[in-house]
Amino acid sequence: MKRSPREHLSAIGRIARWEVSRSAGIVDRRTAILGAFALLLVGAVLGGGLLAGGVALDRDIYRVGVDAESPYHEPVERSVALDAREPSPDALRDGDVDVLLVDGELFVADTPKGRAALSEFRSSVRAFNFERMSAEENGSAAFPVVTVLQYVPRSASLPDDAFAEGDGEGGSGTGDGGDSGGGSDGEAAGDDDGGSASAGSSGGPLGVPALSGINPLSSGGSGSPADIQPPFPFGSLVLAFAFLVPMNFVVQAYGSTMLNERINRRGELLLVAPVSPGDIVAGKTLPYLATMVGVTALIALGVGGSLVSIAAVLPIALLFLAATFAGAMFARSFKELTFVTVTVSVFLTAYTFVPAIFANVTPIALISPLTLVVRDLQPLESVSPGAFVFATAPFALCAGVLFLLGTGIYREEDLFTQRAVPLKLLDALDARVSRPRDVAVLSGLSIPFVFVAELLAIAVLFALPVSLTIPLLLFVVALVEEVAKSLHVYAAFESGTFRRVPRVALVLGALSGLGFFVGEKFTAVAQVVGLPELALGQAAFAPSGIGVFSAAGLLFAPLALHVVTAGLTALGAMRDLRWYAGAFAVSVLVHTAYNLAVVTYLG
Amino acid sequence: MGDSGKPPRQPPREGPDPRWTIARREFGSLRKEKTILLALALQLFIAAFSSFLVVGLVSLYDPGQVEGYEVDVAVTGDAAGDLIRASREVRGVDAQFYRSEETALRAFHEYDATGIDAVLVAETRDERVFVRAVAPDSNVQTTVVVVQLRDVVRSFERAERADRAAYLDDQPLELPPEASSSPYFAFTYTVLLPLLLFLPVFISGSVAVDSLTEEIDRGTLELLRVAPLSLTDVVDGKLLAAAGLAPVQAALWIGLLELNGTSVSNVPALLALVAAMALLICGVGAALALLAPERRAAQFLYSVGVLLVFGGTALLPNGPVTAAARLAIDSAGCADYAAVVALVVTAVVAYGGVRRLVNGLDADDL
């Protein structure tokens, strides 16, 4: 049954309209009343909470024994995390306080908590001093030091005039000073070097609120060293999180409607209609995608994000939907679906949000599209096209592959059967393999997932010392790549798609290795953002021939490796699960050894 | 539930409580689908990911955590001597005197040869010292360098202020000594632990909603009419299974944290808090599942409500989240124990409300 693209589009449109009208139908009066009640309750709780003093997870976690007469009583009272207690001499020994101040002497409990409390105490006294000095009349005595911070790019090739071209980047500004003589002075200091001392706080010209109440590192501008802010995009980060929150809710509804089709054979009618499974999936997904895009656009409008923000969030939205769709295809019950959606939500939220914290610090942050949003929201940052592709392409491709896999089992024999999630996954993989060359295609398609998994490994490991992490990382890389090259081969053998003879297994392994080798070349995008400059990035990507091999002869070394290891696992997969596991372990070892050799001798 | 076709059990004469039967069946289906493993794996992922990255974050912001890393600063200008003296108070900084700004900047640009990470130019003008700090742009070490520069200039400011003390009305307080403490300590108790304690509660509530809506959706609740069970028994059994899981998972996490060297205090109070929270949330979930006409509506109302209520109570000075943090870190006051008791009472009252609601419902109408 061949149909024109127009017929496809009209079918998709029809299903989308039907999905919308059906979803609107479930919002009856009872739901509306319950919803209104929930909102009212939430409003009351939020209002009460805000009146009580805002977010403070660390409220009163340390106790300081300090006399009410002591000058240190006020800083303790003002600090959120510190709780002032009676300074009885026995309190420290009994464990009732963590820091004790009696007669000008300071006693600290010899525990991690005591040290943490002391460190908190120190910073609260510092903040208190700063406020006290701000109230002083003699400005030059209260703030004898005026500081300007500049960020200067350091290029080894231009030592002489690098400084001249390097400013204008903006820094933590001196501001205008609340004190009497500071205003003009701050300006004078800025003039020295071409006015590079522009205000660098997050409350920039693009209307990003400074959120100074929450940011522990920011405060008003006075030119005091206390104002220096390490580059930490706190405000933008909070706003970027706002993009993620609505997605968690949309995917819940989406997962439900997808699983609904599978319960009591409800989706059967739709399946026998003259539309393809792809049309059904596209039609049912469209309203939810549209909702997400609409909400994203609204949020972008609200927080001052540009089109870049929306374009960067779109792949995240797609991946949320795709993963939920695949989950709904695999799950057996609503309970299982809930676990799957919660897993997907938490994983994606963590994966996108946590690296974005490092947006200004390291290129690793670019593994998350949310980093682009954070950079977009900051006044002085911009997003390069290479960085954009690097951050968004893996997400978009993963989403595409997941939709492809899920649509493959959108057919009667799979929709209405109950099988465990791993078996369903194998079914979905097998559904895409009918000829030997499909094995190569599927290996290539696994690249986005491999890429994401390896980036995740880099992100998790980069904090540890390099000598420890590189071997560990190389092992993880080998593990991930071997899974990607062999799982669908195993699925195909299990379902009896291919004959279980060694010759077939070797051919499939070679094809799988070849497909993977070709797909791997696309990871060259990692070079665009300078990830290979990091030791770990280099270790992860060097074995695939990126950035290190210049000789043409060596170009095919990775191909040989992939063909050999994929052949090994295919031979194991041909027999049964136990053989597969054994062969898999051997090929991971071979792969790790190869990776180590490459990194040691050529890296 | 795939096993709804099983023949109903024999009516227990003096056998176990039918509610236990339902609860056991719920556990069985969770175990069979292995979803509980997925949930635990998920929590493990959260704990690992956030811990790893926070350790990374800490090492970026607190160079004291990175052994052997030193920031080399080129200092120049007429106040350079005082600045270098002040820098000795800061750990991990090596300040070197340079004759002129030009040579200092050259050293900064020829980083590979000189190892200079930053430049400080201190000049005295109008009774003040103007310090210009130059840090490398977009470099992995930028944050560490800036934090160290700030500490140096702060220390310098304190010294300069002390010299001018005669002109001040109020003297600044002397700072308590520096402590080598990891900022990760507070994070463990205020973010990680509450997250690990309350995520199981949230998941349990979801399970309660799902297992009820699913029975309604598949029409299997009608089958229960032939069994010697009332609707109340069914809901009770499902609540027991769902709400019972959360404290068990919480206990598991507390045990793991202890193994990891994080001591958690007031464990019974924490478990009571989690159990009360679980009963409350599962009760609300069950009520929503019975009142809302469709799963999507029930799940949506549930998750919006619970997330926002969790968020909202985090704002309260004695909400469950902050109370849990203070209990675990052993800083609990009477107010925190009162919060636990209040929550237990609320949960029991809410549970009573759910029972009344269920008694008033007819299984046929669902």
Q: Is the pLDDT of residue A175 over 50?
A: no
Check CB contact of B346 with chain A, cutoff 8 Å.
Answer: no
The shortest CB-CB distance from A230 to any of B146, B165, B293 is to B146
A194 lies within 8 A of chain B by CB: no
Chain B contact present for A467, CB below 8 A: no
Q: Do B130 and A125 touch (CB under 8 A)?
A: no
Give residue A355's pLDDT: 77
> Which residues contact residue B135 at a Cβ distance below 8 angstroms, ignoring those fewer than 6 apart?
A149, A150, A151, A152, B117, B118, B142, B145, B146, B149
Q: How far is B10 from chain A (nearest CA, A)?
A: 27
Which pLDDT score, from 0 to 100, does residue A420 have? 79
Put simply, whether A72 touches B (Cβ < 8 Å) is: yes
Q: Which residues of B touch A151 (CB under 8 A)?
A: 135-138, 142
Within a domain: residue B168? no
Q: Which amino acid appears at position A257 of this protein?
A: T
Output the CA angle A35-A18-A312, nearest 5 degrees.
70
Chain B closest CA to A380's CA: distance in Å?
A: 13
Query: How many folded domains does chain B comprise?
Result: 2
What is each CA distance from B15 to A199, B11, B18, B229, B235, in whole angstroms?
A: 76, 9, 8, 13, 19
Subunit contact B211:A335, Cβ cutoff 8 A:
yes
pLDDT given at position A510: 93
Residues B201 and B343 reside in one and the same domain: yes
Shared-domain flag, residues B36 and B72: no
In a shared domain, residues B229 and B329: yes
Cα separation, A381 vs A403, in Å, equals 34
pLDDT in tens, A456-467: 787 777 666 667
Domain boundary among B161, B195, B223: B161
Cβ pairs A/B, distance under 8 A: 383
Same domain, B344 and B265: yes
pLDDT of amino acid A550? 47
| Pair B68, B203 in one domain | no
For testing contact with chain A, the best of B38, B69, B137, B313 (most A CBs within 10 A):
B137
**Interchain CB contact of B334 with A (< 8 Å):** no
A27 touching chain B per CB within 8 A:
yes
Instruction: Provide the shortest C-alpha distance from residue B47 to chain A (in Å).
Output: 11
Is residue B283 located within the same domain as residue B330?
A: yes
B134 vs A contacts (CB less than 8 Å)? 150, 152
**CB proximity B316 to A under 8 Å:** yes
Please answer whether residues A257 and A284 qualify as being in contact, where contact means their C-beta atoms are separated by less than 8 angstroms.
Answer: yes
* H helix and E strand count, chain A: 26, 5
Q: Global pTM?
A: 0.73
CA distances from B356 to A56, A78, B35, B235, B344 (A): 37, 47, 31, 12, 19
**Stretch A121-130: mean pLDDT:** 88
- Asked if B303 contacts A252 with a C-beta cutoff of 8 angstroms, the reply is yes
Q: What is the mean pLDDT of each run of 10 residues along chain B (366 residues)?
A: 44 64 80 70 71 62 57 89 87 87 88 85 87 76 78 88 84 81 76 84 86 80 73 87 89 84 88 94 89 75 76 73 89 88 93 90 69
Quick check: A562 pLDDT over 50?
A: yes
Q: Is A18 on the interface with B (CB under 8 A)?
A: no
**Which of B101, B111, B181, B281 should we substitute to test contact with A (largest number of A Cβ atoms within 10 Å)?**
B181
Does residue A370 register a pLDDT over 80? yes
The tokens describing B171, both together, are 């003297």
ipTM exceeding 0.85, yes/no? no
User: Both B37 and B78 in a single domain?
Assistant: no
The Cα–Cα gap between B311 and A590 comes to 49
Q: Could you state, in order of their start, the residue ranges of all structural domains in chain A?
A: 62-131, 231-432, 475-603
Q: Does A507 touch chain B (CB under 8 A)?
A: no
Is B167 a member of any domain? no
Q: Which region holds residue B126: left if phi is over 0, alpha if psi is between -120 and 50, else beta?
A: left
Domain that holds residue B295: 18-57+183-365
Distance CA A508, CA A501 (A): 11
Average pLDDT over residues A155-175: 38
Structure-derived torsion over alpha carbons of residues B179, B184, B190, B194, reported in degrees to the nearest 10: -150
Q: How many CB atoms lie within 10 A of CB A235?
A: 24
On whether any CB of chain B is under 8 Å from the CB of A37, the answer is: no
pLDDT above 60 for A11: yes
Residue B154 lies in a domain: yes
Q: E strand or H helix at B121, and its extent?
A: strand B118-125
Concatenated DSSP letters of A345-401: HHHHHHHHHHHHTTTTT-GGGGGSHHHHHHHHHSTT----HHHHHHHHHHHHHHHHH
Residues in A closer than 8 angstroms to B101, CB to CB, are none
* End-of-domain residue from the set B106, B127, B161: B161
Q: If you measure CA to CA, which chain A residue comes closest to B296?
A: A253
In a domain, B318, yes or no: yes
Cβ–Cβ contact A48 with B under 8 A:
yes
Residue A382 contacts B where some CB pair is shorter than 8 Å: no
Per-residue pLDDT reduced to its tens digit, A473-493: 889 989 999 999 999 999 999
- What distance, in Å, lies between the first and last C-alpha atoms of chain B? 18
- For residues A340 and A322, the answer to whether their CB atoms sit within 8 Å is no
Shared domain check, B92 and B31? no
One domain, residues B155 and B269: no
pLDDT of residue A188: 35
User: Are B326 and B250 members of one domain?
Assistant: yes
Give dist(CA A145, CA A147) in Å, integer. 6
User: Which residues on chain B are in Cβ contact (under 8 Å) with A339?
Assistant: 35, 38-39, 42, 203
Interface test with A, best of B120, B150, B184, B217 (most A CBs within 10 A): B150
Contact at CB, A115 and B180, closer than 8 angstroms = yes
Q: Which residues contact A256 (CB under 8 A, 6 or more apart)?
A: A334, A337, B295, B296, B299
B133 to A147: CB separation less than 8 angstroms, yes or no:
yes
Task: Give yes or no for residue A589 having a pLDDT over 90.
Answer: yes
CATH number of the domain enclosing B107: 3.40.190.10
- On whether any CB of chain A is under 8 Å from the CB of B48, the answer is yes
